Structure 1
Amino acid sequence: MISEMGCCLFDCIGGIVLTIFRWALFVFNVIFLVGGISLIVTGSLLLVNIGEVDDFISNDAEIGAIILITTGSISFLLAFLGCCGAIKKSPWMMNTYAGLLFVLFATQLAGGIVAFVYQDSLENGFKERLVNYGNNYNTEEFATKAWDKLQSEQQCCGVGNFTDWQELFVPPLEVPPVSCTCNEGSDGCGAQIPSNGDIFYYTEGCYTKIQPFLRDMVLSTAGVGIGTALLQLVAGLFSLCLANRFKEKRRKGSH
């Protein structure tokens, strides 16, 4: 029905509208090129940033970043197909392009929605792993290495703050790990324990510090995915209209 409406519109208004639609599709494809690059860059940045806290993040987050890169690459290639189809006025290329766009639209829209839904789960899962690894700090080597790496690289201590090592984790520690210590006067450094007055610790907790990054990561992933998907839907409709018009003009030209 959409294709028939598009054809009627072209028949009434003529070749000027056809030209406008062709150029509009070309502009959309330029946007897709930029959108594809944005998805690739966003996914790549996520992989790099996730690598800094990957011990405490589930594999789903890494898989999501890889999906972003893959989707961006496909969008990039589809943009070239759309441009070629519009320039050559090829009905089959435009129909193929439209079909692939609709599949990609559904995939990215679903991915964006899942990202929004997954936001709380990702943050809660990260916090649960922090607590679980903290409880096993002195008994499991992987937990010790993960916490020491996180605290030294992110310049943070504990989940909410440095007192978690004495009050939250079981069994508690008398003092926070060495990876929590810092040089007096440096950024984020200043917490002290009365019994160890000469030692300073990072004041900000690791969850408190990293949680905004996790939230921004999910929102940017969902936003880019849904925004690109909506553009692909519009371009798909344009493509169907153009494909039918190209086919009709070829049929008339053959008579």
Structure 2
Amino acid sequence: MAGVSGCLKYSMFFFNFLFWVCGTLILALAIWVRVSKDGKEIITSGDAGTNPFVAVNILIAVGAIIMVLGFLGCCGAVKESRCMLLLFFIGLLLILLLQVAAGILGATFKSESSRLLNETLSENAKFLTQTTDEAKEFQKAMISFQEEFQCCGLVKGAEDWGNNFQEAKDSCKCTDATRTQCTTYQGNSVNSQTCLTSIKDLVEKNIIIVIGLAFGLAVIEILGLVFSMVLYCQIGSK
């Protein structure tokens, strides 16, 4: 009868031990942020219009899943437990299938997501002309964004700011030496590119990064599936 490969066995253990440690750290950090006074102050110091605990709860779930899978992989390799290895294989396979499904849905609804982004930003453009506290917070964020990405307004350019343009004109100021990216509004040279275009470009660049990370993670998961199944079969043929 064939024996179990020691190299494969301990490689599987080491990989899943690191996996388990990462899951434990994520879970511990998320729980600390969720229950400690200092952690609550950190996550509630941002935008009051969103639920700050949603991301923390997601991290708790992710950390717990990674921790359980790492434990199953470690114990399954060391104890040569076919049951644990099979559970590890099933759990990792489900995660991989969810990633594939998310990728297919993302590709299918790419045009829809672009339309929703356009509608959302067009709707938010109204905050640039208002004077409410909520609008002022949005305007501060927009001014910072305009300064960083050298754009002006959301949909129609500087015109979006209305009577509030004087507060934003410095961030809209065009510094292009060739003047090809400049236009004139109320006697001021401002960037002709709208922030809607900059935001869409930024989203597209980040999507490419996310796709790359997801692909790399999928390769690691497939290797984990192969190693766990090989080890499972070797244990069964002992």
Same fold (TM over 0.5): yes
Superposed CA RMSD: 4.7
Quote the Cα distance in structure 2 between the aligned partners of 1:210 and 1:53: 19
Quote the Cα distance in structure 2 between the aligned partners of 1:194 and 1:137: 16
Structure 2 runs not aligned, ≥5 long: 28-45
1:157–1:72 CA distance, 2 compared to 1 (3 A) = farther
In structure 1, what is the equivalent of residue 197 of structure 2? 208
1:229–1:81 CA distance, 2 compared to 1 (3 A) = same
1:102–1:86 CA distance, 2 compared to 1 (3 A) = same
1:130 to 2:121 alignment: yes
1:130–1:225 CA distance, 2 compared to 1 (3 A) = same
Quote the Cα distance in structure 2 between the aligned partners of 1:183 and 1:148: 12
Q: Which of 149, 154, 164 is equivalent to 2:157? A: 164
Q: Which of 218, 222, 246 is equivalent to 2:211? A: 222
TM-score of the superposition, structure 1-length normalised? 0.59
1:35–1:117 CA distance, 2 compared to 1 (3 A) = farther
Quote the Cα distance in structure 1 between the aligned partners of 2:107 and 2:203: 12
In structure 1, what is the equivalent of residue 223 of structure 2? 234
Amino-acid identity (%): 23
Partner amino acid for 1:215? E
In structure 2, what is the equivalent of residue 252 of structure 1? none
Aligned 8 A contact 1:157 1:204 in 2: yes
Quote the Cα distance in structure 1 between the aligned partners of 2:48 and 2:105: 20
Aligned 8 A contact 2:17 2:71 in 1: no
1:183–1:244 CA distance, 2 compared to 1 (3 A) = closer
Quote the Cα distance in structure 1 between the aligned partners of 2:109 and 2:21: 26
Structure 1 runs not aligned, ≥5 long: 1-10, 41-51, 250-255
Q: How far is the alpha carbon of 1:30 from its aligned partner?
A: 6.5
**Deviations 1:207-232, CA, capped at 9 Å, x for gaps:** 23222321233233333234323432
Q: Which of 10, 13, 16 is equivalent to 1:29? A: 16
1:36–1:211 CA distance, 2 compared to 1 (3 A) = farther
1:238–1:35 CA distance, 2 compared to 1 (3 A) = same
Query: Which protein has the larger Cα radius of gyration, Structure 1 or Structure 2?
Result: 1
Partner amino acid for 2:201? P
Quote the Cα distance in structure 2 between the aligned partners of 1:81 and 1:19: 18
Moved more, 99-108 or 237-246: 237-246
Structure scoring higher RCO (CA < 8 A, sep ≥ 6) equals 1
Superposed, 1:182-201 pairs within 5 Å as: 182=171, 193=184, 195-197=186-188, 201=190
Q: May I ask how many residue pairs the two structures share in their alignment?
A: 213
In structure 2, what is the equivalent of residue 149 of structure 1? 140
**Deviations 1:4-39, CA, capped at 9 Å, x for gaps:** xxxxxxx5xx33x622432443465378569979x9
1:222–1:31 CA distance, 2 compared to 1 (3 A) = farther
Partner amino acid for 1:158? G
Partner secondary structure for residue 96 of structure 1: helix
TM-score of the superposition, structure 2-length normalised? 0.62
In structure 2, what is the equivalent of residue 19 of structure 1? 6
Partner amino acid for 2:115? N
Moved more, 78-87 or 129-138: 129-138
Quote the Cα distance in structure 2 between the aligned partners of 1:108 and 1:165: 41
